[in-house]
Amino acid sequence: MITYNGQSETGKIQSILMKSPAKAWFGQEYTNQQWEKLNYPGKPNFEKALHEFNQLATIIESHVSEVYYLPEDDKNTLDSIYVHDPVLITSQGAILCNMGKKERRKEPETIGAFLENLGIPILGSIKPPGILEGGDVVWFDDNTAAVGIGYRTNREGIAQLRELTGEMVKEIIEVPLPHWNGPDECLHLTSMISPVDCDLAVVYSRMLAVPFRNLLLEKGFKLVEVPDEEYENFASNVLALAPRKCVMIGGSPRTRKALEEEGAAVYEYPGKDITVKGGGGPTCLTRPLYREENK
- 204: domain CATH number is 3.75.10.10
148 is a domain residue: yes
Mean pLDDT of the chain: 96
The full 3-state SS of 248-276, as one line of letters, equals: EECCCHHHHHHHHHCCCEEEEECCHHHHH
One-letter amino acid of 113 = A
Domain count, the chain: 1
2 is a domain residue: no
CB hemisphere CA count around 84 (13 angstroms): 23
Range of the domain at 101: 13-291
Split at pLDDT 50, 70, 90, the class of 287 is very high
30 is a domain residue: yes
Per-residue pLDDT of 74-118, as tens digits, reads 889 999 999 999 999 999 999 999 999 999 999 999 999 999 999
The predicted model gives 149-157 an average pLDDT of 97
Helix or strand (DSSP H, E) at 228: helix 228-231
- Say what the pTM is: 0.97
The predicted model gives 60-72 an average pLDDT of 98
Q: Single out the residue of 192, 243, 199 nearest to residue 218, CA to CA.
A: 199
5 is a domain residue: no
Distance CA(101)–CA(98), nearest Å, equals 9
Distance CA(216)–CA(156), nearest Å, equals 25
Radius of gyration of the CA atoms of the chain, in A: 17
Helix or strand (DSSP H, E) at 157: helix 155-165
Per-residue pLDDT of 180-222, as tens digits, reads 878 878 799 999 999 999 999 999 999 999 999 999 999 999 9
Per-residue pLDDT of 221-272, as tens digits, reads 999 999 999 999 999 999 999 999 999 999 999 999 999 999 999 999 999 9
How far from each other are the two terminal CA atoms of the chain, in whole angstroms?
25
Residue 246, SS3? strand
